[in-house]
Structure 1
């Protein structure tokens, strides 16, 4: 796993093999950040990384200058790895060890970008609950974007606030935003 761009461009990050994760591929990560680069100034936004896993997405935002990043994962090993790596690189990443659904039900944290990478084995109901909780609890800023990574077999286009999707390899990224 490597950081694509920014202050730590090219740095390799080696998470422990025992973590229960499926990191976003470098190709997909680069494509997503090319989209985001055209929408936001990274040093002016807040980011919520749900099902953070190895922290790859959080590290990418931090490398590009984002200073308000919260990473949520329920696995202690993932949280520990994110904390250790963030400390090593002096990245401003705050971690929360929590079940993501419980976190979304209780947090008041609003963000410009919410990136969600749940297990691909989740059911449609579980995937559907994520945007439902984000918008029901008003966790996305007005010009914000919710990005949900999922397998290409999962179709989220029928959900409220769905905007569009992009396909990279065998992954789909569904984009949700507030519609005026």
Structure 2
């Protein structure tokens, strides 16, 4: 696993094999960030990486200029790995917290320019992530939510849905929180 672009490009990320994660592949990650590069300038943006796992996506956001990145992960060994890697790479923009993502979305007050969520594919309530992000207004106006999910989950009829991109077994659903969309979904 490696960082594919930005100031930390080509840095290798070597998580222990014992971590209970399914990291986004380098190909899917590169495609995701190519899309993001065409729709949003990440410089000076705040980002939340939910179900952060190894921190793979969080490191990429930092590398590509995000001002602040918060990694949210429940598993202690993953949190420890993300902290150590961020320290090793001197990524001062990256903070990690150990928390259940659903509790975090319901109780936090911070809003973000971009929220990326990569829940375990076996999770039954993946659609609840989208619901909570918008119900608790966790995105800034003109913000983006991206959810990585299995093909069995279909968000195409959901409020704020923008597009779906597929890369093999990896699906990314993009949601765009705009004032126009806000008015039409009330």
TM-score strictly above 0.5: yes
Q: CA deviation at 1:169?
A: 1.2
Cα deviation, 1:41-73, whole Å, max 9, x if unaligned, reads 222211000000000000001111212100001
| Separation in structure 2 between the aligned mates of residue 49 and residue 120 of structure 1, nearest angstrom | 16
Give runs of ≥4 in structure 1 deviating > 3 Å.
Answer: none
| Separation in structure 2 between the aligned mates of residue 41 and residue 163 of structure 1, nearest angstrom | 18
1:114-133 correspondence runs (5 A): 114-123=115-124, 126-133=125-132
Q: Which residue of 1 aligns with 2:176?
A: 177
Conserved 8 A contact 1:128-1:159: no
| Separation in structure 2 between the aligned mates of residue 10 and residue 160 of structure 1, nearest angstrom | 37
Name the SS of the counterpart of 2:102 in structure 1: helix
Q: CA deviation at 1:178?
A: 2.0
Q: Which residue of 1 aligns with 2:54?
A: 54
1:57-76 correspondence runs (5 A): 57-76=57-76
Q: Which residue of 2 aligns with 1:83?
A: 83
> Can you give the 5+ residue segments of structure 1 that lack an aligned partner in the other structure?
none
After superposition, the CA RMSD in angstroms is 1.0
Q: CA deviation at 1:10?
A: 0.8
Q: CA deviation at 1:109?
A: 1.1
Q: CA deviation at 1:37?
A: 0.9
Length-normalised TM-score, structure 2: 0.92
Q: CA deviation at 1:20?
A: 0.7
1:1-180 correspondence runs (5 A): 1-91=1-91, 92-123=93-124, 126-179=125-178, 180=180
Query: How many positions carry a matched residue from both structures?
Result: 178
Conserved 8 A contact 1:19-1:77: yes
| Separation in structure 1 between the aligned mates of residue 28 and residue 44 of structure 2, nearest angstrom | 23
